């Protein structure tokens, strides 16, 4: 079982944009195939966390869009600030969900 230090090292290197093969070479005490499997597993978990956060971001933005869009349709009052930010949040969440952009999740 790999230690927390090894997993933290892998996550840090992935955030920095290192290639998988270079990260595998930096892990000592493991066979190359085990190291590669571990790096791919950590990468997969990080992408899953990013996609999970992106889904909740999209859902929150969609709720804001529906509520304030409904208020606009009902009252005719246009909310100039919240609607563009909610739309941008929804679009950015969609981009993160599809492409798993960013490794800032621990």
The answer to whether residue 106 sits within a structural domain is no
% of the chain at pLDDT higher than 70: 94
Give the model's pLDDT for residue 4.
82
Domain extent at residue 25: 4-99
pLDDT (tens digit per residue) in 84-99:
999 999 999 999 888 8
104, part of any domain:
no
Q: What is the pLDDT of residue 106?
A: 44
Asked whether residue 25 is domain-assigned, the answer is yes
Helices in 1-106 by DSSP H: which ranges? 4-16, 20-26, 32-75, 82-99
d(CA 53, CA 66): 20
Model pLDDT, residue 76: 86
Residue 60 belongs to some domain of the structure: yes
In a domain, 40, yes or no: yes
Grouping H, G, I as helix, E, B as strand and the rest as coil, residue 19 is coil
CA 38 to chain centre: 19
Domains contained in the chain, number = 1
For residue range 51-89, what is the model confidence (pLDDT) as tens digits? 999 999 999 999 999 999 999 899 988 888 898 999 999
Return the pLDDT at 105: 46
- Please give the C-alpha separations between residue 65 and each of 12, 44, 49, 57, in angstroms, as whole numbers: 36, 31, 24, 12
Is the per-residue pLDDT at 1 higher than 90? no
In a domain, 105, yes or no: no
């Amino acid at each position: 079982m790999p230690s927390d230090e090894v997993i933290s090292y892998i996550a840090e290197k992935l955030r920095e944009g290192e290639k998988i093969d270079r990260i595998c070479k930096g892990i000592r005490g493991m066979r190359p195939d085990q190291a590669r499997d571990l790096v791919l597993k950590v990468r997969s978990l990080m992408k899953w966390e990013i996609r999970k956060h992106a889904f909740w971001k999209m859902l929150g933005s969609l709720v804001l869009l529906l509520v304030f869009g409904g208020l606009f349709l009902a009252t005719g009052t246009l909310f100039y600030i919240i609607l563009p930010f909610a739309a941008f949040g929804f679009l950015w969440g969609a981009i993160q969900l599809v492409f798993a952009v960013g490794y800032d999740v621990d």
